[in-house]
Amino acid sequence: SKQLPLRGKKVVITAGPTRERIDPVRYVSNFSSGKMGYAMAEAAAALGADAVLISGPVGLDKPIGVTVIDVESAAEMLEAVRSQFDDAAIVIKAAAVADYRPKEVYPQKMKKQPGDSTIELERTTDILKTLGTMKTHQILVGFAAETQNAVDYGSGKLESKNLDYIIVNDVTDPDAGFGKDTNVVTLLSKNGTHRPFPAMSKKKLATLLLKTIIKEESEQLND
Ligand code: PMT
């Protein structure tokens, strides 16, 4: 229907940071609060979707009407997303997934040693890139957090990860990025469209972004 354009469609959203353990009491992470991804999940549910939110550790209330799967690490997020992928109509990756994790996870709390210390890091799997190779009918939407040349780097990721859309935020903008209630983004599509959105609340923005994507994909979504 017009009011519930996503009725009967499964929309999978990832949100928040991942935590990569060093030992039982320490981890490597980032400043994602989950606000952007939770807003996308709420907006998808309000538009009628069966919304599944795969969430890293955040301090937000669970959105009503959304199925939440809690994960901790990039590896757990990958498994959760894979298990939800086949029957998803749209997959939106707002999570700030760690690109690196400690190579060794110590089973006991690391003891202080005299002098400095280093932690060796190894790459995590790029979840979005993996999904890009698995894609059949799914509309794949990434986010890109950039501190310079935001649109250029974003369109590079759109192509290299085989995405349909990428939502680029310049996280140096005072109204944008990690932890804020507002965001400033540009929506890029694989068809070359380029839509900048002014600063607004992540909640309002989430609805606008989804409506824009639904409109552009009406054929694909109504198959
Ligand atoms: O959570 P908030 O505080 O509200 O902040 C929102 C946000 C800034 C985190 C969000 O708007 C955002 O930009 N999320 C993506 C952050 C990010 O990891 O960007 P990236 O450019 O490093 O990664 C590009 C894309 O690849 C992202 O969709 C990311 O989910 C995905 N990725 C990255 C690494 C990896 N190992 N696997 C991935 O899937």
For the chain, the structural domain boundaries read: 10-107+122-217
CB atoms within 10 A of CB 145: 20
Cα separation, 97 vs 80, whole angstroms: 13
Show pLDDT as tens, one digit a residue, over the chain (223 residues). 678 999 999 999 999 999 999 999 999 999 999 999 999 999 999 999 999 999 999 999 999 999 999 999 999 999 999 999 999 999 999 999 999 999 999 999 999 889 999 999 999 999 999 999 999 999 999 999 988 888 899 999 999 999 999 999 988 899 999 999 999 999 999 999 999 999 999 999 999 999 999 999 988 888 6
Ligand 1 neighbourhood includes 127 CB (under 6 angstroms) = yes
Q: What burial class does residue 66 get, using C-beta atoms within 10 Å of its C-beta: 0-12 exposed, 13-18 middle, 19+ buried?
A: buried
pLDDT for 221: 86
CB 58, CB 37: distance < 8 Å: no
Q: Is 222 a catalytic residue?
A: no
List the CATH code of the domain at 10-107+122-217: 3.40.50.10300
pLDDT for 1: 66
Ligand 1 neighbourhood includes 156 CB (under 6 angstroms) = no
Cα-to-chain-centroid distance, residue 213: 16
pLDDT for 180: 96
> What per-residue string of b and e applies to 163-182 under the rule 16 or more CB within 10 Å gives b?
bbbbbbbbbeeeebbbebeb
**Computed from CA positions of residues 124, 134, 89, 186, in that sequence, does the dihedral angle turn out positive or negative?**
positive
pLDDT for 125: 97
The alpha carbon of 112 and the centre of ligand 1 are apart by a number of angstroms equal to 33
**99 labelled binding-site residue:** yes
The alpha carbon of 14 and the centre of ligand 1 are apart by a number of angstroms equal to 9
**31 labelled binding-site residue:** no
Angle at 156 between CA 194 and CA 91, to 5 degrees: 70
**143 labelled binding-site residue:** yes
The alpha carbon of 133 and the centre of ligand 1 are apart by a number of angstroms equal to 18
